[in-house]
Structure 1
Amino acid sequence: MPHTFRSQLICLIAVWGVWIASAHAQGTDALNSFLKKRADAFMVITGYSLTPDVTTGSLSITDRSGNNPNLQMISLGGGDRLSRNVPLYLEGTLAVNRYNPSFIGTVGNTSVDVPVHWNSITGTGGVGWDFPLTNELRIRPIANIMLGHLESDLSIASRVIENQTGADLQFLKNGRMNTYGLGGSLMLDYENYKLEREIDIELRYTNIEMNTFDTSKAVQGSANSQSLSLWARNRVPTPLRFFSMPIRAVMEAAHTEFLGDLRGALGFNSLSSLGGGIEFDRSQSEPLFSRVRIVFRYQFGQNVRGTSIGLAASF
């Protein structure tokens, strides 16, 4: 074999090898990039359930027409002053979310389509103080802190992807991300209670900055949870009784504008809710819960419609 031809062949093989390695690295980087985007997206999604909000307290989104994500969100939360005479306000929210996007990637001629399930649990606490403006109206600054844990059930999916592509996706193996959030809220609270009706109106702005900690470098990031919400409820006594418990009719309306990273993250900028139900007054028997409410809600927003049932209790 002529020396010149042999040198050219060696160079060609070397270039071909570098090209294959580069294509493989690009494929691995593309999959890891896709994964990080989904992890970042889930961080944003957790921002919808950091504070008590009837529009996002129970939210499920499914689009069966394509490969769009499935999402289930459920939260339990509430807040109130310690008493009428103590202006210290405490609140808390515990939320569980499940996000199921379709993981689709291509490496060379290989196409990968594996379901990727994210599960998270978040807890948010708030401490505030009431400053009266009138007998019925008060302003309430609140300091909020949040802790969250995200985990993927992808040990099987990671092996499928690695077998088909050779990509080493460490985060899929570990599948964990921890988050914390610090921020605050400012609320205007109006309460007008009389024998013939009880009116509650709350206007609230919330801003909580979320960051990762004790997490793989590949998925470290941050997200901002901002919202502006208006909530109103009217309770009216009825002549009806249930086992000697007076029954009130409950009418409710709420609207939330999502700001910052939350705006448009799920395809809508705002959510509204209209609800009606009944409330049982158990105060005469001095139980743990003085009032129990059942409210049926219709929720709607851009391209979003749904119904929910809410169960609440007052201490």
Structure 2
Amino acid sequence: MKPIFTLLRICIALAMVVQAHHAVAQADGQFSVAANNFLKKRTDAFMTVTGYSLTPDVTTGSLSITDKGGDNPNLQMISLGGGDRISANFPLYLEGTIAVNRYNPTFTDGIGGTGMTVPVHWNGITGTGGIGWDFPLTENLRIRPIANVMLGHVESDLSLAGRYLNNQKGVDLQFLNRGRMNAYGTGGSLMLDYEDYKPEREYDVELRYTNIPINTFDSSTAVQGSADSQSLGLWARARYPTPLTVLERPLRAVFEIAHTEFLGQLRGALGFDSLSSVGTGLEIDRSASDPMFSRVRLVFRYQFGQNVRGTSIGLAASF
């Protein structure tokens, strides 16, 4: 009877080993699924984030977000853009924006209870162009429809993190291996533009609604999708000449306010529904010496929104 008991023990041991191996494989598989789901959510978020920097907007021209509590990823955004009419006699409006974003979500305890923290970084660059035409409503007020097109590219610098996850946890994250995402968008904007220029003061006010849907193309399968970028913004600026003279022209004091309401998928994507900005600065009139860049402005801005506070410095030139 002893050989039978011995054989029974061997069978039980083999069954326990197989069961343990199956449990480990199942756990690894669950971790891979959880990690990829986490990553997919973050890439979807990054695609949505690009919508904040598609058009010239002082509230998002320079934005850096860090959640010290660790619940939200770090985000850095900077953009350069502008637009204007060709001339008063030929009211063709042209605009362009180029933006660079860096997004840093982090793998933490939320993935399979692993207790590890692995930084992941995505770098994105987007370019947006617009063409419109001014239709005068009054002497100072005009309506401006604008057609917009956007192109963007995102690259992952996660090869090291990807190897770490693969070697330590047996996890295969598609976007880490061949991490790239290309996106395009076509849409439009509608703007009300008010200008009232007099020697003793100059007023500019713009009310703008923008809608540019974004879609991926030629991208890693893990990060294909779309995003809805909508915003409603109000911007106003006042300029007053000071007693000081620079380059044979009065030095102007500049005062500026702006408010942007984010709509669609942008609303609440970064923890806020809107951003506001107040700014003040100085403007040099260079028209006497250089008609190409007739005015140069330096503006200090304070930006705020729900759970967001910050400052920025803007340098701009007018033709």
Compute the TM-score of the two structures, normalised by the length of structure 1.
0.93
In structure 2, what is the equivalent of residue 33 of structure 1?
37
Rounded to whole Å, the distance in 2 between the matches of 1:188 and 1:273 is 20
In structure 2, what is the equivalent of residue 166 of structure 1?
170
Rounded to whole Å, the distance in 1 between the matches of 2:207 and 2:112 is 53
Which letter maps to 1:267?
G
Match of 1:198 among 199, 202, 224: 202
In structure 1, what is the equivalent of residue 211 of structure 2?
207
Q: Which whole-Å deviations, capped at 9, do the CAs of 1:119-154 have from their partners, x for residues lacking one?
A: 100000011111111111111111111111111111
8 A Cα contact 1:67 1:102, kept in partner: no
* 250-259 or 4-13: bigger deviation: 4-13
Rounded to whole Å, the distance in 2 between the matches of 1:307 and 1:20 is 50
Residues 261 and 130 of structure 1: CA distance in aligned 2, closer, same or farther (over 3 Å)? same
Which letter maps to 2:221?
K
Structure 1 residue 22 and structure 2 residue 26: aligned?
yes
* 260-269 or 238-247: bigger deviation: 238-247
Which letter maps to 2:102?
R
In structure 2, what is the equivalent of residue 226 of structure 1?
230
In structure 1, what is the equivalent of residue 297 of structure 2?
293
SS of residue in 2 equivalent to 1:288: coil
8 A Cα contact 1:24 1:107, kept in partner: no
Q: Which whole-Å deviations, capped at 9, do the CAs of 1:9-49 have from their partners, x for residues lacking one?
A: 77776665544433322211111111111111111111111
Residues 251 and 34 of structure 1: CA distance in aligned 2, closer, same or farther (over 3 Å)? same
8 A Cα contact 1:110 1:165, kept in partner: no
Q: Which whole-Å deviations, capped at 9, do the CAs of 1:218-246 have from their partners, x for residues lacking one?
A: 11111111110000011111221124342
Which letter maps to 1:181?
G
> Any stretches of 5+ residues in structure 2 without a counterpart?
none
Residues 184 and 52 of structure 1: CA distance in aligned 2, closer, same or farther (over 3 Å)? same
In structure 2, what is the equivalent of residue 130 of structure 1?
134
Rounded to whole Å, the distance in 2 between the matches of 1:213 and 1:75 is 23
Structure 1 residue 268 and structure 2 residue 276: aligned?
no
Rounded to whole Å, the distance in 1 between the matches of 2:248 and 2:265 is 49
Residues 139 and 243 of structure 1: CA distance in aligned 2, closer, same or farther (over 3 Å)? closer
SS of residue in 2 equivalent to 1:161: helix
Rounded to whole Å, the distance in 1 between the matches of 2:135 and 2:152 is 31
TM-aligned CA deviation for residue 118 of structure 1: 1.2
SS of residue in 2 equivalent to 1:30: helix
TM-aligned CA deviation for residue 107 of structure 1: 6.9
TM-aligned CA deviation for residue 112 of structure 1: 2.8
- Residues 1-315 of structure 1 aligned to structure 2 (within 5 Å): 1=4, 17-66=21-70, 68-104=72-108, 110-315=114-319
8 A Cα contact 1:31 1:105, kept in partner: no
> Any stretches of 5+ residues in structure 1 without a counterpart?
none
SS of residue in 2 equivalent to 1:135: coil
Which letter maps to 1:274?
V
8 A Cα contact 2:247 2:285, kept in partner: no
Question: Could you say what the CA RMSD is over the residues aligned between the two structures, in angstroms?
Answer: 2.1
Which letter maps to 2:43?
A
Which letter maps to 1:91?
E
Rounded to whole Å, the distance in 2 between the matches of 1:45 and 1:259 is 12
Work out the percentage of aligned pairs sharing the same amino acid.
Answer: 70
TM-aligned CA deviation for residue 304 of structure 1: 1.2
TM-aligned CA deviation for residue 276 of structure 1: 0.8
SS of residue in 1 equivalent to 2:288: helix
* 140-149 or 100-109: bigger deviation: 100-109
* 282-291 or 35-44: bigger deviation: 282-291
Residues 138 and 115 of structure 1: CA distance in aligned 2, closer, same or farther (over 3 Å)? same
8 A Cα contact 2:179 2:220, kept in partner: no
Rounded to whole Å, the distance in 2 between the matches of 1:109 and 1:126 is 47
TM-aligned CA deviation for residue 58 of structure 1: 0.6
Which letter maps to 1:102?
T
SS of residue in 1 equivalent to 2:108: strand
Rounded to whole Å, the distance in 2 between the matches of 1:259 and 1:108 is 34
Residues 106 and 286 of structure 1: CA distance in aligned 2, closer, same or farther (over 3 Å)? closer
* 158-167 or 97-106: bigger deviation: 97-106
Rounded to whole Å, the distance in 2 between the matches of 1:58 and 1:27 is 36
TM-aligned CA deviation for residue 286 of structure 1: 3.0
SS of residue in 2 equivalent to 1:37: helix
8 A Cα contact 2:233 2:261, kept in partner: yes
Rounded to whole Å, the distance in 1 between the matches of 2:112 and 2:21 is 14
